[in-house]
Structures are given as structure tokens and as C-alpha cells.
């Protein structure tokens, strides 16, 4: 069986909303750490080379959006798990 099929079978077996909420809370830790690392790197890079501020910020906002999509995806999976 593929990993996607196994994940779908596992997600349909979750009937406890509290368990799904704990799972989403744990899944939100990763994007939170990622956002912190992104902007700490921008601050560090700007301190070292101030003229690169514009390039660093545009790259930071792009990667911020990608990381936040992961958090939103976890939120959607949470609602799918509680609706079943």
C-alpha cells in the first residue's frame, strides 16, 4: 500500500476531536519554528550586509508564505479528521 492510502485510512479512524486537536497543535509547532528561523536569518543577514535588505526580505516573505501553507494544510486536515 502506498503512504497516501495508509494516511487516509488512519485519518478516517480518528473520531475523537480532542485527539485531532492535539495532533494539529503538534503539527503547528513545525511552521512556528520555521517562521522564527526565516526571520532570524533575515535579521542576521541584514546586520551583516545592510544593502541586501530588499532581496532578503522578498525572499523571506516568499518562504514565509510557503511555510504558512503547511500550517493551513494541517488546519484543513484537522477539520477533515473531526468531520468524519
Mean pLDDT by 10 residues, the chain (84 residues): 67 66 82 93 96 95 92 82 69
Longest dimension (CA), the chain: 53
Distance separating alpha carbons of residues 22 and 16, to the nearest angstrom: 10
Angle subtended by helix axes 53-83 and 17-27, to nearest 10: 170
Q: What is the pLDDT of residue 80?
A: 79
Contact assessment for residue 38 and residue 63, using Cβ atoms and an 8 Å cutoff: yes
Distance separating alpha carbons of residues 28 and 74, to the nearest angstrom: 7
C-alpha cell belonging to residue 82: 473531526
Amino acid at each position: 500500500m502506498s503512504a497516501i492510502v495508509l494516511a487516509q485510512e488512519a485519518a478516517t479512524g480518528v473520531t475523537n476531536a480532542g485527539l485531532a486537536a492535539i495532533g494539529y497543535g503538534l503539527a503547528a509547532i513545525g511552521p512556528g519554528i520555521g517562521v522564527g528561523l526565516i526571520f532570524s536569518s533575515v535579521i542576521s543577514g541584514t546586520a551583516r550586509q545592510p544593502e541586501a535588505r530588499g532581496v532578503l526580505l522578498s525572499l523571506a516573505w516568499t518562504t514565509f508564505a510557503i511555510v504558512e501553507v503547511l500550517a493551513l494544510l494541517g488546519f484543513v486536515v484537522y477539520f477533515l479528521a473531526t468531520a468524519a
